[in-house]
Structure 1
Amino acid sequence: MTGPLSSLSCALADVAARVTPSVVTVHSHRSRATGFVWKPGLIVTADEALADEGEVRIGLPDGSSVAATIAGRDHTTDIALLRADIGIAPVKLAATVPALGTLSVVVATDRDAPSAALGMVSVSGKSWRSLRGGDIDARIELDVRLRFGQQGGLALDASGDAFGMAVLGPRRVLVIPTATIERVAAQLETRGRIARGYLGLGLQPVRLDDGIGAMVMSVDKTGPSATAGIRQGDVIVAVNDQKLSGVRALLRTLGPASVGTVVDVGVHRGDEPVNFKVTIGERPEA
């Protein structure tokens, strides 16, 4: 007679076995991570685990390896997209966000071998912004232990649906959800990068009598702020009639959706208040 633990064990093994053929190892300069086939010839992996330079190779489930190129990467959401000539079927990602307390299996690779780790969804919440300014569509944390090389693996629910990519966050395992992967990877596939807003200013926070300002320390002469008339030495005090809460808060508003929008920037020029209409540009590549 089959007991409940045996049934659970068999079910979890089946969940892992279904996606293992689409999970690969990503080798870059002195770094090893996990990736999964997102579309034919396209692999998603954790940007944090991908070296900044050197050759990239993909370790396949049959033990062979092929060269890969970086199609694009986004540090803010920890998503990188690779291209490789492989004939592996993609994983179907589910748009669902798992409920708090449900079981999750992370299927990854560890030292070039398939691996699986069982944990629990410890946080399941709303969208949030990463420390690097990336918009993540849902906050999902797992109570599970992962090695560095296992990040980039697939997070699965108990029914076997892949709801995102497991990565190592500060003191916890985070999941980059499907909605974020689909949005970011699609832009990396077509453009190779994620558009970010650009004011063309170098800013330094300053304390004012009635709050916080941002002094303009440098101006890109070809940037949108210079075009609008902002100069070095101006102090930004408000954006769209909202008092400035800090330089970092201002920079966090310059996400992909900000490109092309017009903002009203209030500044102090000497003792005089002046307002400028600035059309936010796209940050140039470094």
Structure 2
Amino acid sequence: MEPFMSDLSALSSALAATAAAAAPSLVSVHSHRSRASGFVWKSDLVVTADEALADEGEVIIAFADGTTRPATIAGRDHTTDVALLRFDGRDVSSTPLARDVPPLGSLAIIVAADQGTPVAALAMVSKSAGPWRSLRGGDIDARIELDTGLRRSSEGSLVLDASGRAVGMAVRGPGRTLVIPAATIERVASKLETHGRIARGYLGAGLQPVKLDEGVGAMVMSLDKNGPAAAAGLRQGDVITALNNAPFSSMRGLMRELGPDSVGAVVDVAALRGGEPMRVALTIGERPA
């Protein structure tokens, strides 16, 4: 046999063995017309992609051996796309996660489940960079992108490196496949397991962007009378122009700043009231469940 063919056969066998080893911990997640993948993170907990999980109705998980079990949502975080399902899984093996970030150009294997049947795809790491923040304000520990598309039923699937270690979860990004890294999954899933949710900052005000002579501001359209904005002295009709001397730029930018670490922080709010400048100190609260 030619050396090239021998090497190719060895690679093929290694890939098949890697996918087969991960299959027992993979599940299909069925929730109100939505189909996704997931993996057993702990003996009775499954991690899946939040975006692929329906907002209502029962949840069923299907295993590679054809069995199905009901599950309940233990917690979900829209900002990092991590959701946690609880089920009776005392006899199910879990998947250990490796916090290593795969380097640019390395091979990755996406292992998913479709109607309970394991499916796999080979990919290359097309981007491997440092921490970033999602459009919804979630802190992601590494920016990992793959050079392949992702079928909808594969959202929430495992991403394995060339050594067969699970390094993250595959989700659909804008025109690419993103990987939620193991470090993010461990951090978020642990909080979801304990608290059922991730704390987020809360201003207690309904805001609407408005054009100003110099830039833009956020007009207070409504107030939670028991919320942080009202306690700080803001009123309906006030226009927020800056937070901690940083000019207001967009609602999306503001929401990004209201992450878990913002709860309890005191911010200096510059605003206009009837066209006159004013400042208040606002203590960011925790968004109600």
- Residue 264 of structure 1: SS of its match in structure 2? strand
1:77 matched to 2:80? The reply is yes
Equivalent position of 1:196 in the other structure: 200
- Residue 54 of structure 2: SS of its match in structure 1? coil
- Residue 198 of structure 2: SS of its match in structure 1? coil
1:165 matched to 2:190? The reply is no
RMSD of aligned alpha carbons: 1.3
- Report the AA paired with residue 121 of structure 1: V
- Report the AA paired with residue 44 of structure 2: G
1:41 matched to 2:44? The reply is yes
Distance, in Å, in 2 between the alignment partners of 1:43 and 1:95 is 18
Tell me how far 1:37 sits from its aligned partner.
0.7
The equivalent position to 2:149 in structure 1, one of 145, 150, 154, is 145
1:260 matched to 2:264? The reply is yes
Matches within 5 A, 1:119-138: 119-138=123-142
Distance, in Å, in 2 between the alignment partners of 1:50 and 1:162 is 21
Distance, in Å, in 1 between the alignment partners of 2:272 and 2:56 is 44
Equivalent position of 2:95 in the other structure: 91
Q: Deviations over 1:25-53 (max 9, x none)?
A: 11111122111011110000111211111
1:28 matched to 2:28? The reply is no
Q: Is contact 2:29-2:61 (8 Å) kept?
A: yes
Distance, in Å, in 1 between the alignment partners of 2:105 and 2:47 is 27
- Report the AA paired with residue 160 of structure 1: G
Distance, in Å, in 2 between the alignment partners of 1:119 and 1:252 is 31
The equivalent position to 1:65 in structure 2, one of 48, 65, 68, is 68
Equivalent position of 1:14 in the other structure: 17
Tell me how far 1:216 sits from its aligned partner.
1.1
TM-score w.r.t. the length of structure 1 is: 0.96
- Residue 189 of structure 2: SS of its match in structure 1? helix
- Report the AA paired with residue 169 of structure 1: G
- Report the AA paired with residue 248 of structure 2: L
Distance, in Å, in 2 between the alignment partners of 1:65 and 1:284 is 34
Q: Deviations over 1:198-233 (max 9, x none)?
A: 001111112222222111111110001101111111
Q: Is contact 1:117-1:145 (8 Å) kept?
A: no
Distance, in Å, in 1 between the alignment partners of 2:252 and 2:122 is 38
- Report the AA paired with residue 143 of structure 2: R
- Report the AA paired with residue 36 of structure 2: A
Tell me how far 1:118 sits from its aligned partner.
0.5
Distance, in Å, in 2 between the alignment partners of 1:146 and 1:197 is 32
1:272 matched to 2:282? The reply is no
Count residues with an aligned counterpart.
285
Q: Deviations over 1:87-143 (max 9, x none)?
A: 212111010111111110011112321111101111111222222222211111111
Equivalent position of 1:110 in the other structure: 114
Tell me how far 1:144 sits from its aligned partner.
2.1
Distance, in Å, in 1 between the alignment partners of 2:7 and 2:25 is 29
Q: Show structure 2 runs of 5+ residues with no match.
A: none
- Report the AA paired with residue 101 of structure 1: G
Identity %: 65
Distance, in Å, in 2 between the alignment partners of 1:200 and 1:142 is 39
Tell me how far 1:251 sits from its aligned partner.
2.1
Distance, in Å, in 2 between the alignment partners of 1:249 and 1:52 is 26
Distance, in Å, in 2 between the alignment partners of 1:138 and 1:20 is 25
Q: Is contact 2:135-2:252 (8 Å) kept?
A: no
Distance, in Å, in 2 between the alignment partners of 1:245 and 1:113 is 47
Distance, in Å, in 2 between the alignment partners of 1:270 and 1:189 is 47
Equivalent position of 1:206 in the other structure: 210
Q: Is contact 2:62-2:115 (8 Å) kept?
A: no
- Residue 144 of structure 2: SS of its match in structure 1? strand
- Residue 266 of structure 1: SS of its match in structure 2? strand
Tell me how far 1:247 sits from its aligned partner.
2.8
- Residue 12 of structure 1: SS of its match in structure 2? helix
